Structure 1
Amino acid sequence: MAIEVGQEAPDFETKDQNGNTVRLSDFKGKKVVLYFYPKDNTPGCTAQACDLRNNYEALQKAGYVVLGVSSDSEKSHQKFIQKYELPFSLLADEDKSVHEKYGTWVEKSMYGRSYMGTARTTFIIDETGKISQIIDKVKTKEHTNQIIN
C-alpha cells in the first residue's frame, strides 16, 4: 500500500542512535521531517545530512523536528553524527519495520543487478500526524529548500 498525502502517517517504534525508544506519536503537535536514506557515510547521504545540518536553524524556526531513518545500526549512526556534527536524531531500522510501513524498502537495480534497498524519500508530517508532503525526488545538496519551499 502506497502512502499518500493527506493520510495519517503510520506510527512506529524504533531506537535512535543512543538506544532510546522513539515513536512517531511522541511528536504529535509538531511538524516532522522524516527522511529515509540508504546508508551512513556514503556521498549522497552525507550531502543530504549536511544540507539539513547546515540549515537546521531555519528548519527549527519553521517548526520542524528532523528524523533520519536508515537500516544502519545505532553504532553506525553515532559515528555518522559525530563525524559530521549532525544536530538531529538518526533512527536505526535494522529490521526494516519502519521502511515497510512507509514503503521505502524497495527493489532497486544497478549494473543490471537487482537488490533490495532504501528509496531515498522524505515525508513531511503535520502537527496532526497527517502526511502533508512526500518528496521522492530528493536533491541531496538542496534538500532543505525542497522541504521549506
Structure 2
Amino acid sequence: MLKVGELAPEIDKLATDGQRFVLSRQGGLCTVVFFFPKAFTPGCTVETRQFRDNHVELALAGASIVGISTDDHRTQCRFAESHKVPFPMIADDDHSVCRAYGVLWPLIGVARRVTYVVDPGMRVAAVFHHELQATKHRDDVLSFIDERFRAARPPAVPTAPRSAGALSLGPPSSVRLPPDVAPQPSPASALPGAASPGAPPDSDAPAPPGAPAPPGRPS
C-alpha cells in the first residue's frame, strides 16, 4: 500500500457515468479514492451506500470521491445504478490501478478494502485500511475531511452582538455625516416637553436643592 506523503499514481479510466475519470484533473480540497473487493457483496454495498449518503457533505467541503473494484465495467454500472451512486465508479478489471496503489490481493485477485485521500498535488494525504469494519472508512474520511476543511478556512472575524436589522457603524464619534445632511433628532428628543440639544433650560423648572438660582429668578 502507498504511504502518506507518497505520490499517488495517475488514474485515467472510463467511469460508470460514461466519462473518463482522471485523478489529476479533480482539484478541489482533495479526492477520496476507495477500493473495495466485489460489487453486490454485503460489506461493499454498505460502504458504497455510506459514501453515497455523505456525498453532498463531502462535496460541500470541496472533496470529490471515486470507488474502484476489480469488477468488469458492466457489473460496476449495474452496481452503481442499483444503489443510485452519485459519484463515478471504476471497473479495474485489468487490475492496473489496484496494482499501482498496492491494494491487490495476490492470490484471489481482488482489491483490498483501502481508502486513500489524495490532495490536489497528487500526494497521499491519508490512508485508511479496515478489511472487516467497512463502516470505519466513511467515519475516518469524514473526520479527516472535516479537519482539513477547517484548517483551509480563513479565521472568522469576531463581531459584537447587535439587534436584528442593525448595522454596526462603530461609536457615534466615528460616524461623519455629509455637510448637507442635518442630524436627525434622537427618539428621546422627539418626546413632548423634551428640550432640543443646545436650548436654554426651562426657567420654570425647579432648581436642585443647594444649586444657585438662575439669573432673574428669586431664590
Q: Percent identity?
A: 27
Q: Aligned pair in 2 of structure 1 residues 77, 115: CA closer, same or farther (>3 Å)?
A: closer
- Considering fraction of residues, name the structure with more helix: 1
User: What is the rounded CA distance, in whole Å, between the counterparts of 2:3 and 2:37 in structure 1?
Assistant: 21
2:118 is matched by which residue type in structure 1? I
SS at match of 2:109: strand
Query: Which letter maps to 1:92?
Result: A
Larger Cα-atom Rg: 2
Query: Which deviations, in whole Å up to 9, do the C-alpha atoms of 1:22-59 show, x marking residues without a partner?
Result: 22112144410001101111100000000111111111
Which is further off, 137-146 or 82-91?
A: 137-146
**1:111 aligned residue:** none
**Alignment-mate amino acid for residue 117 of structure 1:** V
Tell me which amino acid in the other structure corresponds to 1:35.
Answer: F
Give the length in aligned residue pairs. Answer: 142
Tell me how far apart the structure 1 counterparts of residues 42 and 17 of structure 2 sit (CA, whole Å). Answer: 24
In structure 2, the CA distance between the partners of 1:136 and 1:22, relative to structure 1 (3 Å rule), is: same
Preserved CA contact (<8 Å) 1:18 1:74: no
Provide closer, same or farther for how the CA distance between residues 99 and 19 of structure 1 changes in structure 2, counting only shifts above 3 A.
same
Counterpart for residue 44 of structure 2: 45
The separation in 2 between residues aligned to 1:78 and 1:34, in whole angstroms, is 17
TM-score calculated relative to the size of structure 2:
0.60
Does the CA contact (< 8 Å) of 1:51 and 1:142 recur in 2? no
Higher RCO (CA 8 Å, separation ≥ 6 residues): 1
- Please state if 1:34 is matched with 2:28: no
The equivalences for 1:1-149 within 5 A come to 2-107=1-106, 115-137=108-130, 139-149=133-143
Q: Mind listing any 5+ residue stretches in structure 1 that lack a counterpart?
A: 108-113
What is the RMSD computed on CA atoms of the aligned residues?
1.7
What amino acid is the match of 2:87? F
**C-alpha displacement at 1:19, in angstroms?**
4.4
The separation in 2 between residues aligned to 1:51 and 1:29, in whole angstroms, is 21
- Cα distance 1:17–1:34, how it changes in 2: closer, same or farther (>3 A)? same
TM-score w.r.t. length of structure 1 = 0.86
Structure 1 stretches of 4+ moved >3 Å:
none
State the alpha-carbon separation in 2 of the partners of residues 84 and 29 from structure 1. Answer: 25
User: C-alpha distance in 1, partners of 2:45/2:94?
Assistant: 22
